[in-house]
Structure 1
Amino acid sequence: MNTCFRPAQFTVLLFAMLLLLAGCGGDEPAPVSSAGQLPDFTGLVKQASPAVVNISAVPAEDEENESKSGPGSDNPLEGWLRRFFEDGQGQAPGDERSPMPMPRGPGGSPHPSLGSGFIISSDGYILTNRHVVTNSGQIVVKLNDRRQLLAEFVGQDSYSDLAVLKVDAEDLPTVRIGDPDKLPVGSWVVAIGSPFGFETSVTAGIVSAKQRSLASDQYVPFLQTDVAINPGNSGGPLFNLKGEVVGINSQIYSQTGGYQGVSFAIPIDIAMDVANQLRDNGSVTRGWLGVQIQDVDRELAESFKLKRPEGALVARVMPDSPAQAAGLQAGDVILSFNDHPVDSAAALPPLVGTVEPGRSATVTVLREGEREQIDVEIEKLPKDLLARGGAGEQPAEKTRQPYGLTLESLNTAQRRELELEQGGVRVTEVGEGAGAQAGLQPGDVVLAVGSKNVEDAAALRAALEAAKGPVALLVLREGNRLYLAMRPGSD
């Protein structure tokens, strides 16, 4: 059967071809991938890479020796790189989750740090990781056009592992800043940096998770990716498909010191807040609420009548803190902070830290089964929270209790030593029973059941016997407070 090509069909085909041609031209970032296809990163790399820099930081004690190595190489690290790869040894192993380690030469001697960074202002301000330039004597920044400039150290922040540098140049290319909050898990991301000194290397992957909490970085809710990151990528930018920076590649999870499929980036909104403070003030000021918090697990959620585990459970309110002044209490579950949901304890410190001291914040808490909104005036995070001394112990009454526990009511001297105004029951022995199942340990001091203080061992026993389901015990353990869920009826 013969078919004819009608004018209407030709018009549709021509329009489709024009759309296709329009999408293939120019220096636009990579288009969003369609089903079954991978994105094209070439436009993104062409647009963004001029603002990415290589950083070499010579340790202060090695500066004189490095200056005697002589000219003749375009890359001041070329000799060291040659030795590194010829020897096939010398890289210091990283811990399981750590900043990318500084490579070391034969015998363990440190060599110039290999790192990355990116230009955030056309007059020469550069953002990178603090561990790239720590204890450095001379910092050399190599631009994408192969210029090498000495950098001035502007400031650093140990809490977020960020540092700001300044080079004497004008009209430099800069990155565009994106919004990590609009980056869904599963999104494509691209890293540009200098792994092992190989400049402007590009790797790609996806966002594996968000709001990752790492033990030593409580003020950073990390982006987790599967982008290949190695020593030398530290401080380099992580881009979305629009060519906007959404993070700073900072840490890897590794048992070898090299990439093993899990890497972490500092969200760019957190980083830019730090960078602006370092540039303007030379230091970073963070907000302070003054609470010790923990996650809510399934059994604690049940004891607090929550439908699911969520929020940050207040285990302690610091004395003379904004939280104490506002009336927050141990046993409160913080569900939101300034209208931002608090899904876990790790989500709260970054939210508090970004509030300017002196400003008010609204905290939504669950207290005795009811939701309340509390206004808190945030203060500056103290540099040091000093521990205070106390008096020695005196004998106290011991009471054998059910649930596998031997309990001891605290006396006045013991309370003074532990800085307790009232109550408190020490666990001296833990046998089989509900106490052991809850995780109680000898030496724990039970302060409250839920949000109600316990005055002595008898009061604790009465509260446990009256419980009709799981109860939350506020426990003081080695100076820290935490809640444990206990089921008294499980004996």
Structure 2
Amino acid sequence: MRLVITLFVLLALAQGQSTTERSAGPETTPAPTTRTSLLRELNSSLQQVVAKVSPAVVQIFVTGYGPIESHGHTDTAHIVRQHAIGAGVIVDPDGYIMTNAHVVEGAQRVRVIVPLSTSTSEFGLQPIHSQQIYDAKVVGRHKQADLALLKIEAKSLPAIRLREFVPVRQGELVFAIGSPEGLRNTVTMGVVSSVARQTELDDPMFYIQTDAPLNPGNSGGALVDIDGNLVGINTLMLSQGGGSEGLGFAIPAAIVKFDYESLRKYGHVQRVAFGARGQSITPTLAAGLGLSRSWGVIISNVAAGGFAHIGGIQVGDIVLAVDSRRIDDFPSFINALYLHHPGEVLRINVLRGAKEVSVVVPVMVHHDKIESLADIPDLQRTLIAELGIFVADIDGKLQHLLHGDDDDSGVLVVADTGSANSIDTGVETGDIIRAINRVPLQSVSQLQATVRQLKPGEPVVLQVERSGKLQYLPFEMD
């Protein structure tokens, strides 16, 4: 298949060369038979790929109840019966299907249309009797990854096997198969625009970006390569007008495989944690902390007594590799952590100053901890005008309300000014500012004095604690 495409490109180059030669010599006639033969071979190869994977991509009908917007003058919510259409990928011949979690959100009934034959009429229509409708059960969902596993009672179904690892490269030819606008088994073609794209900086999820046209209804469908391997599950698109603009995103096959195994075994995905938090290194953060590199991932928080702490991870460590896989950016770091089950270990190489250090850290099941900060109306608010925030010293009362520990360092952000002229620092109400440019903070007055000494354009890095975890917030003074 790859040979065919290479020949096709070489043919195009040869045509350009023959055109140049004709201008200097007698006119020659190209060989139309050879060109047509190559085009037919390419066309046949593409058709074979589509014929191989199309039967494993199903259409999903979801019926449920949900709210609609009220156009009256009251705030009364109206709950109505709703219908949605998406796609799914058969990943096991015994009836297991992966799709997007948002496709089956709020579902009361889920039905799956499975093609029984790929034969079509002379007009390209597939006869009704060549498809089978099944009721499906939602085995489990993972909202963070936007993946769900369905089960239908069927055997010997065509399936796209989830492989251990299929390398994906930028510029690679891919096919998107789904049901855009309800048009079942629609195929579009494009290339991989990016192999690891985040929709937001430091978002724990990353996607494979493609320019293969995606539209509503493609959600949950397959993105495959020229060998029929699953590249990812199509999940979202970015669009100004609601239609395809060549900005489609798919969940990588490695994450699909990991979630499938967890959902099938447990009914949910066991999120893992290793007791530390990393974030992207930006040029401003690197300049403010005096780092040796302006890219990669830095450890911004280590939970006291956690596995990372016990293993030797320290705040300020720059992650070089996880399990011998080089870490160049935040998506690769998250991917390395994500694809581990509880009880496994991480072998992490970090740069600490000028020295490379290797540590071994077990991963554990992650438990969400909801923390809240009570409103304290009698706080003496102090303005840091340059940063657009009000802060307060952490006294005994605040210390008890925040965490109940013995750490009274730092200042608490109690409000922001809402001024459009203030610097975008990334600080949020409830944050505790622990340090500024590596200097620990003990009081509001110390923060005020430090900020007053900063010059326009000077890099600043705040170390803040948010929801019990430390992180760096880099910016430049205006």
For residues 50-65 of structure 1, the aligned pairs below 5 Å read 50-59=55-64
* SS in structure 2 of the partner of residue 32 of structure 1: helix
Alignment pair present for 1:276 and 2:261: yes
Alignment check: 8 A CA contact 2:395 2:408 kept: no
Paired with 1:386 and 1:440, the residues of 2 have a C-alpha distance of 21
* Amino acid corresponding to residue 251 of structure 2 in structure 1: I
1:135 equivalent in structure 2: 106
2:327 equivalent in structure 1: 342
Alignment check: 8 A CA contact 2:302 2:470 kept: no
Summarize deviations over 1:206-229 as a string: whole Å, max 9, x none. 111122223599553210111111
Distance 1:256 1:304, change over 3 A: same
Match of 1:311 among 276, 293, 296: 296
1:98 equivalent in structure 2: none
Alignment pair present for 1:385 and 2:369: yes
2:91 equivalent in structure 1: 120
For residues 220-369 of structure 1, the aligned pairs below 5 Å read 220-319=205-304, 321-369=306-354
- Size of the aligned set, in residue pairs, is 413
**Cα RMSD after superposing both structures:** 4.3
Displacement of 1:148 in angstroms is: 1.8
Paired with 2:175 and 2:260, the residues of 1 have a C-alpha distance of 22
Alignment check: 8 A CA contact 1:331 1:450 kept: no
Paired with 1:423 and 1:377, the residues of 2 have a C-alpha distance of 30
* SS in structure 2 of the partner of residue 473 of structure 1: strand
* SS in structure 2 of the partner of residue 113 of structure 1: strand
* SS in structure 1 of the partner of residue 268 of structure 2: coil
* Amino acid corresponding to residue 119 of structure 1 in structure 2: I
Paired with 2:250 and 2:386, the residues of 1 have a C-alpha distance of 49
2:409 equivalent in structure 1: 423
* SS in structure 1 of the partner of residue 234 of structure 2: strand
1:22 equivalent in structure 2: none
Paired with 1:216 and 1:463, the residues of 2 have a C-alpha distance of 26
Displacement of 1:427 in angstroms is: 7.8
Alignment check: 8 A CA contact 1:180 1:247 kept: no
Displacement of 1:246 in angstroms is: 0.9
2:125 equivalent in structure 1: none
Distance 1:323 1:200, change over 3 A: same
Paired with 1:29 and 1:160, the residues of 2 have a C-alpha distance of 32
Summarize deviations over 1:129-175 as a string: whole Å, max 9, x none. 12222222222211222122222322221121111122222221112
Alignment pair present for 1:372 and 2:343: no
Distance 1:239 1:413, change over 3 A: same
Relative to structure 2, which stretch is displaced further, 193-202 or 137-146?
Answer: 137-146
Distance 1:255 1:447, change over 3 A: same
Paired with 1:402 and 1:238, the residues of 2 have a C-alpha distance of 48
Alignment pair present for 1:169 and 2:154: yes
Alignment check: 8 A CA contact 1:399 1:408 kept: no
Match of 2:440 among 453, 456, 463: 453
* Amino acid corresponding to residue 233 of structure 2 in structure 1: I
Displacement of 1:404 in angstroms is: 11
For residues 431-442 of structure 1, the aligned pairs below 5 Å read 439=425
For residues 153-192 of structure 1, the aligned pairs below 5 Å read 153-177=138-162, 182-192=167-177
Distance 1:234 1:216, change over 3 A: farther
* Amino acid corresponding to residue 125 of structure 1 in structure 2: Y
Match of 1:197 among 179, 182, 188: 182
Relative to structure 2, which stretch is displaced further, 250-259 or 108-117?
Answer: 108-117
1:32 equivalent in structure 2: 5
* Amino acid corresponding to residue 61 of structure 2 in structure 1: S
Paired with 2:445 and 2:437, the residues of 1 have a C-alpha distance of 16
* SS in structure 2 of the partner of residue 182 of structure 1: coil
Paired with 2:230 and 2:140, the residues of 1 have a C-alpha distance of 21
Distance 1:228 1:179, change over 3 A: farther
Paired with 1:159 and 1:411, the residues of 2 have a C-alpha distance of 37
* SS in structure 2 of the partner of residue 120 of structure 1: strand
* SS in structure 2 of the partner of residue 349 of structure 1: helix
* Amino acid corresponding to residue 294 of structure 2 in structure 1: P
Relative to structure 2, which stretch is displaced further, 263-272 or 170-179?
Answer: 170-179
* SS in structure 1 of the partner of residue 92 of structure 2: coil
